Amino acid sequence: MEFTIPDELLYEESHEWVDEGDGAVRIGITDFAQDELGDIVFVELPSEGETLERGDEFGLVESIKAVSDVYVPVAGTVTETNDEIIDRPELINEDPFGDGWMIELETTDTVDHLLDADEYSEQI
Amino acid sequence: MSLQKPPLSQVHQSAGADFTDFGGWEMPVTFDSIRTEHAAVRNAVGIFDVSHMSEVSVSGPDATELMNILTTNDVRTLEDGDAQYSCILDSDGVIIDDIVIYRYPDREGYLFVPNAGHGTQMVDRWSSTASRRELSVTVEDRTMETGLVAIQGPGAIETVDSIGTGSVADLSRFSSMRTEIDGVDCLVARTGYTGEDGVEIFFPSAESTAVWNAFDGVQPCGLGARNTLRLEAGLLLSGQDFDPETEPRTPLEAGLGFVVDLEKPEFVGQESLREQNENGVDETLVGLRVEGRSIARTGYPIEVDGNEIGHVTSGTLSPTFERPIALGYVDSSYADEGTSVDVEVRNRTVEATIIDQRFLESLEPETTED
């Protein structure tokens, strides 16, 4: 099966993506991850203002099949959460890199440890 | 240990299925999405490959006597072609397996269907009991040579009739007949495990592709949708809602008293069940309507005022009702419908209400009022 892996994003091995953007980084789970989980029915997100270390669980994605923790790929402070996915968790299935994004962080962390699209593609 | 693959494995792979280990078999869990497949069965028709289920054939002069000793329902009530849901117990009355027994429509003897991976154990049980009691029977494990698909949904009968040589429209629930599908000799039974009308079709496993392809255009469904469908119908899953090791339950605790005939002369576990029937059960299976969106999964505690009164055995988000539902065992004193309880969902307390486990019926009125 072919999965979408946008070239402009960075990836954590645990299937989160990071969009460095201009200011805060945006984070979500990949097309591969949403496909593995199947129909997503419930999402938990952190509070705005919460400070997270790299590798911390920042939320949870639950599908009919399984529950999966989601880990923050870079350290930072949560500046915004996508509350739309609380009411419509299926947005993660439908548009994991767009409307299904999860949180934004203000970060001073490096991104050297993250995978580029080619490296992530080889992993999955 | 490598997983047993069904004869249709390659066909499923080509269709893009995801697979899971189920009872030692690598079976398709989804073809599209659980929601899509579930909706197809509730609203139209879907096809499942259930070839992982075991098949055991029992024949010979004492076949009926042996079947009656080893199962809880009364096999003697079956006419040619009839099917019967039943349980197999140990001497303590604990369910080892639940099965459907088919009395062949066109020859002497029975075919029964234990759960995946249980065939060998059942053949041993049948053979050793026959030997000990000097009964004249032939017991054969037909699992590997038998293919099985389920066609389920309100459009199932019409679909089968458009393909098979003989009409199944007049076949009553829990009865079977012979028909041909794409030239393959099949045993078609009006049974299933989705809460919908439909049939299950047995055929030689070597002909699996021909039978499966005869239903081209029907939504293929995996075990994911089968789980959500059976749970909405309040049907139990072996190994999860009962299991001799991890969830030892009698049929009376599991709400399966209707398949137990305490009046028949003799069956394994009968004495224990008689005792339990007289004294009542300490814990009983209930349905749970769970508030919020998170799913109450297997093992989650059920509480009242912070005290654990039971635990969840199966839970899902019901695709039909868009709300979490679950099955679980609770202290019988809390089992009345309408009782408010809590479920501990990952260290959060979620409110729930005990309702009739046949969710398709017990949730419908409320949803209509909404």
CATH of the domain at B166: 3.30.1360.120
Residue of A nearest to B348 (CA): A44
Please give the pLDDT value at position A103.
97
Question: Which of B16, B224, B346 is closest, CB to CB, to A65?
Answer: B224
- CB-based contact, A69 to chain B, within 8 Å: no
Q: Are residues B197 and B223 in the same domain?
A: yes
3-state secondary structure of B357: coil
Rounded to the nearest angstrom, the minimum Cα separation between A2 and chain B is 11
Question: Which of B16, B317, B346 is closest, CB to CB, to A64?
Answer: B317
Q: How far is it, in rounded angstroms, from Cα A86 to Cα A74?
A: 23
Residue B263: inside a domain: no
Quick one: average pLDDT of A89-93?
97
Q: Are residues B82 and B202 in the same domain?
A: no
3-state secondary structure of A95: coil
Strands B283-290 and B323-331: antiparallel
Q: How far is it, in rounded angstroms, from Cα A122 to Cα A120?
A: 5
| Interface contact flag, B224 A64, Cβ < 8 Å | yes
Dump pLDDT digits (tens) for A51-70: 999 999 999 999 999 999 99
| Interface contact flag, B294 A64, Cβ < 8 Å | no
Please give the pLDDT value at position B200.
98
Quick one: average pLDDT of B330-343?
98
Contacts A39 to B, Cβ<8 Å = 33-35, 319
Q: What angle do CA B85, B235, B220 make, to 5 degrees?
A: 100
ipTM: 0.85
Dump pLDDT digits (tens) for B14-68: 999 999 999 899 999 999 999 999 999 999 999 999 999 999 999 999 999 999 9
Residue B3: inside a domain: no
Q: Work out the mean pLDDT of chain B and round it to a whole number.
A: 96
Q: How many structural domains is chain B composed of?
A: 3
- What percent of chain B is modeled with pLDDT above 70? 98
Please give the pLDDT value at position B368.
45
- H-only helix segments in chain A: 31-37, 84-87, 90-94, 117-123
Residue B166: inside a domain: yes
CATH of residue B89's domain is: 3.30.70.1400
Q: Are residues B149 and B46 in the same domain?
A: yes
Question: Which of B16, B35, B294 is closest, CB to CB, to A39?
Answer: B35
Q: Are residues B148 and B222 in the same domain?
A: yes
Contacts A67 to B, Cβ<8 Å = 295, 297, 346
Dump pLDDT digits (tens) for B274-293: 999 999 999 999 999 999 99
Residue of B nearest to A37 (CA): B33
| Interface contact flag, A67 B316, Cβ < 8 Å | no
- CB-based contact, A59 to chain B, within 8 Å: no
Please give the pLDDT value at position B1.
60
Full residue range of the structural domain in which residue B102 is found = 56-141
Residue B239: inside a domain: no
Q: Are residues B12 and B129 in the same domain?
A: no
Rounded to the nearest angstrom, the minimum Cα separation between B210 and chain A is 26
B158 within 8 A of B200, measured Cβ to Cβ: no
Q: Is the pLDDT of residue B366 over 70?
A: no
Residue B73: inside a domain: yes
Q: Are residues B185 and B333 in the same domain?
A: no
| Interface contact flag, A62 B295, Cβ < 8 Å | yes
**Which of A34, A41, A70 best probes binding to B when mutated, by most B CB atoms within 10 angstroms?**
A41
Please give the pLDDT value at position B197.
97
Return all residues near B132 (Cβ < 8 A) that are at least 6 apart.
Answer: none
Q: Are residues B124 and B200 in the same domain?
A: no
Residue B37: inside a domain: yes
Question: Which of A1, A38, A65 is closest, CB to CB, to B16?
Answer: A1
Q: Is the pLDDT of residue B100 over 50?
A: yes
Residue B256: inside a domain: no
Question: A23: exposed, middle or buried (C-beta count within 10 Å: 0-12, 13-18, 19+)?
Answer: exposed
B149 within 8 A of B50, measured Cβ to Cβ: yes
Q: Which of residues 6-45 of A touch B (CB under 8 A)?
A: 38-39, 41-42
CATH of residue B329's domain is: 2.40.30.110
Architecture of domain A33-93: Beta Barrel (2.40)
| Interface contact flag, A42 B316, Cβ < 8 Å | no
pTM of the model: 0.93
Dump pLDDT digits (tens) for B243-253: 999 999 999 99
Q: Are residues B289 and B326 in the same domain?
A: yes
Contacts B296 to A, Cβ<8 Å = none
Q: Are residues B149 and B135 in the same domain?
A: no
Q: Are residues B150 and B229 in the same domain?
A: yes
Q: Work out the mean pLDDT of chain A and round it to a whole number.
A: 95
Contacts A38 to B, Cβ<8 Å = 30, 33-34, 224
| Count of A-B CB contacts under 8 Å | 35
Rounded to the nearest angstrom, the minimum Cα separation between B283 and chain A is 27
Q: Is the pLDDT of residue B365 over 70?
A: no
Rounded to the nearest angstrom, the minimum Cα separation between A113 and chain B is 31
| Interface contact flag, A89 B293, Cβ < 8 Å | yes
Residue of A nearest to B16 (CA): A1
Please give the pLDDT value at position B127.
98
A74 within 8 A of A19, measured Cβ to Cβ: no
Return all residues near B253 (Cβ < 8 A) that are at least 6 apart.
Answer: B276, B281, B283, B284, B285, B329
Strands B301-304 and B25-30: unpaired
Q: One-letter amino acid identity for B25?
A: W
Q: Are residues B45 and B97 in the same domain?
A: no
Q: How confident is the model at residue B370 (pLDDT cuts 50, 70, 90)?
A: very low
Dump pLDDT digits (tens) for B213-266: 999 999 999 999 999 999 999 999 999 999 999 999 999 999 999 999 999 999
Q: Are residues B225 and B328 in the same domain?
A: no
Strands A67-71 and B18-22: unpaired
Residue B288: inside a domain: yes
Is B200 annotated to bind a ligand? Reply is: yes
